[in-house]
């Protein structure tokens, strides 16, 4: 098994059955994490990129079975920020030194591509990259957003098991999800995807397929997080995802896509106080602190007890593991290519 990991470190390829073998064998976990950490260091360096996350609307037309802000959860107090409020948060993030602003929301079509384009144009007056995480739209809408200057887009595939995808996402189509991702790639967005680890009935084999899908798409970013059961969703009686398994998927993703951006996700730290640091030492190089107004944060509960980043603690923690906070835009490969 160590030989397999060594091979992946050099060639950045593994077959599905090799990935499955590694995911199923826990005695090699430390070796796997250490190897992914080395690849991360060689390809992206010791800098950790911070992305300021603005959750600007929790209104959502989707009804994903695991998600706390799903359409059919009547207990959520819904909000939608005004353009001025979004820009105020972006200003604050820029003044705080962030080099990337992530605009995230439920699938809220009140925000037309044209309206979002106005917001993007206003933020792009600053020297920052803009990432969108707003869900599925048409090619034409994505084009409007790209033309307005958006640099990156996050859209997790969530799972590549088509049957499971259908069960988890009523009324949605796996084909359209993939169409969106390939459209985003072809429009020149740095494209992020990723999966939930621990969905009911999810197999190790399908997690291996997820990793191979990231490779096939040539994803520029991959966000992986364990499922955290939300009590107001149809999955309320299920178990939380396994943190170690999620970190293994992350580490294997780093071996196969050595120069991409991989966040240590909030879901990992929510499950375990050391979760974020463990991820940073197993291939991750990005953290996404939430800069949304406090009154909104509590209503953006995709899962319960979502933790936030304590900046000064983060600085000390990073120092302890030999890492620094980046002042660059942090495109794929830790590059600072000219912004659009
Ligand atoms: N637990 C963990 N992650 C979740 N997400 C949504 N609901 C949950 C949950 N209950 C993730 C999805 C989505 C991202 C924004 O949040 O993967 O893509």
> What is the per-residue pLDDT across 68-94, written as a single tens digit (0 to 9) for each?
999 999 999 999 999 999 999 999 999
Whether 325 and 98 have beta carbons less than 8 Å apart is answered as no
Token couple for 302: 């995709």
Give tens-digit pLDDT for 270-293: 999 999 999 999 999 999 999 998
Ligand 1 pocket member 158 (CB < 6 A) = yes
Query: Is the CB of residue 227 below 6 angstroms from any atom belonging to ligand 1?
Result: yes
Atom of ligand 1 nearest to the CA of 133: 15
SS3 56: strand
Taking the centre of ligand 1 as the mean of its atom positions, its distance from the CA of residue 227, in whole angstroms, is: 7
How many whole angstroms from 196 Cα to the centroid of ligand 1? 7
Domain ranges of the chain: 32-318
DSSP secondary structure of 88-124: HHHHHHHHTT-SEEEEEESS-TTS-HHHHHHHHHHHT
Residue nearest to atom 18 of ligand 1 (CA): 156
Largest CA distance in the chain: 55
User: Residue 293's pLDDT is what?
Assistant: 87
Name the pTM for this structure.
0.97
Q: What is the per-residue pLDDT for 224?
A: 98
> Domain 32-318 falls in which CATH fold?
TIM Barrel (3.20.20)
Q: Give distance in angstroms: CA of 64 to centre of ligand 1.
A: 9
Q: Which atom of ligand 1 is nearest to the CA of 233?
A: 10
- Give 121 Cα–ligand 1 centroid separation in angstroms: 28
For the stretch 290-321, pLDDT in tens is 999 888 888 999 999 888 888 888 999 999 99
- Contacts of residue 60, defined as CB under 8 A and 6 or more positions apart, other chains included, come to 67, 69, 70, 71, 105, 106, 107, 108
Burial of 137 (0-12, 13-18, 19+ CB in 10 A): buried
């Amino acid at each position: 098994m160590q030989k397999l990991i060594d091979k992946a470190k050099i060639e950045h390829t593994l077959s599905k059955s090799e990935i499955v073998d590694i995911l199923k064998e826990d005695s090699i976990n430390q070796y796997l994490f250490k190897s992914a950490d080395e690849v991360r260091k060689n390809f992206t360096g010791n800098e950790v990129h911070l992305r300021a996350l603005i959750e600007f609307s929790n209104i959502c037309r989707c009804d994903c079975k695991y998600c706390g802000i799903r359409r059919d959860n009547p207990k959520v107090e819904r909000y939608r920020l005004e353009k001025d409020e979004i820009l105020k948060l972006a200003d604050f993030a820029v003044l705080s030194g962030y080099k990337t602003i992530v605009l995230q929301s439920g699938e809220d079509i009140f925000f037309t591509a044209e309206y979002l384009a106005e917001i993007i144009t206003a933020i792009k007056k600053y020297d920052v990259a803009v990432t969108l995480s707003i869900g599925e739209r048409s090619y034409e809408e994505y084009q409007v957003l790209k033309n307005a200057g958006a640099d990156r887009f996050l859209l997790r595939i969530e799972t590549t098991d088509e049957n499971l995808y259908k069960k988890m996402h009523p009324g949605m189509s796996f084909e359209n999800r993939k169409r969106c991702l390939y459209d985003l790639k072809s429009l020149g967005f740095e494209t992020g995807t990723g999966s939930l680890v621990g969905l009911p009935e999810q197999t190790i084999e399908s997690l291996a397929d997820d990793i191979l899908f990231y490779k096939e798409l040539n994803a520029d970013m991959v966000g992986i997080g364990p499922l955290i059961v939300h009590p107001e969703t149809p999955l309320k009686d299920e178990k939380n995802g396994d943190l170690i398994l999620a970190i293994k998927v992350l580490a294997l993703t780093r071996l196969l896509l050595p120069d991409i951006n991989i966040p240590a996700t909030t879901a990992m730290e929510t499950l375990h106080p050391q979760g974020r640091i463990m991820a940073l030492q197993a291939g991750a190089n990005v953290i996404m602190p939430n800069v949304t107004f406090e009154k909104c944060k509590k209503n953006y509960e995709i899962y319960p007890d979502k933790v936030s980043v304590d900046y000064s603690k983060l600085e000390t923690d990073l120092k302890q593991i030999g890492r620094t906070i980046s002042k660059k835009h942090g495109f794929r490969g830790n590059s600072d290519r000219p912004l659009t």
